């Protein structure tokens, strides 16, 4: 079965659960409705042989399309970024801000598949797929810790990479790069203490990649 035939089969079998289906550079991405994620994953595992969850990650789209660093194509003068940002859409701060992306693999059929579920900005909540793949346990904990995405029915949804008392979610694009607090070991108190950040906040200016002067007008 070719990848095009497989895409058509998936679209037909999951017609009621998909919001979109893409085939880009030989890779299929299924855009799944949040309420259908567990059912879709169970069917993909049992019927289509995707027995392995390779990865699960969160995405924050709050600045998507609003960055002047996003270059779609080269102009006649080459690439030039971080200059004016003309032609880019407004940052996405409302609606479906977050997403959860699943990467699946079928060893018996030598296939890979990507699932993407969009989640609202005010309540990024989705059902856990740990009943389908046990490997999702730590992946979902990581997405919860770094993005604040909640996974319903997860057996142990605790922070994984940050401290238990950490406030906020470091991979959200509105989280300050310098953080909110800093920690150190206090020799007098003989314990770790938290203090306000001592680093001065500053605005980071992206490096400008200038026009390639090989294509500039007036060159011999």
CA distance 40 to 150: 19
Pairing of strands 98-106, 150-152: unpaired
Tokens describing residue 137: 């346990």
CA distances from 175 to 17, 37, 39, 112, 167 (A): 33, 28, 33, 33, 10
Q: Is-contact 22 31, C-beta < 8 A?
A: yes
Q: Of the candidates 145, 147, 146, which has an alpha carbon nearest to the alpha carbon of residue 158? A: 145
Exposure pattern of 79-94 as b/e (b: 16+ CB <10 Å)? ebeeeeeeeeeeebee
pLDDT for 62: 84
The secondary structure of residue 102, as a DSSP letter, is: E
What pTM was estimated for this model as a whole? 0.77
Domains of the chain plus CATH, in order, are 3-215 (3.30.460.80)
Q: Of the candidates 131, 116, 117, 124, which has an alpha carbon nearest to the alpha carbon of residue 146? A: 124
pLDDT tens track, the chain, 220 positions: 899 999 999 999 999 999 999 999 999 999 999 999 999 999 999 999 999 999 999 999 987 766 544 555 554 444 444 444 444 444 554 578 999 999 999 999 999 999 999 999 989 999 999 999 999 999 999 999 999 999 999 999 999 998 877 888 999 988 888 888 888 899 999 998 888 888 776 666 555 555 555 555 555 5
Sign of the Cα pseudo-torsion (59, 65, 68, 70, in order): positive
Q: Is-contact 20 11, C-beta < 8 A?
A: no
């Amino acid at each position: 079965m070719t990848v095009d035939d497989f895409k058509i089969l998936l679209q037909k079998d999951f017609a009621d659960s998909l919001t979109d289906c893409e085939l880009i550079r030989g890779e299929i991405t299924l855009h799944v409705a949040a309420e259908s994620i567990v059912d879709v994953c169970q069917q993909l595992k049992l019927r289509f042989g995707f027995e392995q969850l390779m990865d699960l990650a969160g995405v924050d789209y709050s600045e998507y399309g609003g960055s002047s660093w996003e270059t779609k194509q080269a102009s006649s003068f080459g690439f030039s970024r971080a200059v004016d940002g003309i032609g880019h859409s407004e940052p996405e701060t409302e609606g479906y801000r977050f997403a959860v992306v699943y990467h699946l693999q079928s060893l018996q059929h030598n296939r890979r598949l990507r699932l993407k579920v969009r989640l609202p900005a005010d309540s990024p909540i989705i059902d856990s797929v740990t009943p389908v793949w046990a490997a999702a346990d730590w992946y979902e904990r990581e997405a919860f810790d770094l993005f604040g995405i909640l996974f319903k029915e997860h057996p142990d949804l605790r922070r994984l990479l940050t401290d238990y008392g950490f406030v906020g979610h470091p991979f959200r694009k509105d989280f300050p790069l310098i953080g909110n607090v800093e920690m150190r070991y206090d020799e007098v108190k003989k314990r770790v203490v938290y203090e306000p950040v001592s680093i001065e906040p500053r605005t980071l200016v992206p490096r400008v990649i200038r026009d390639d002067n090989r294509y500039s007008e007036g060159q011999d």
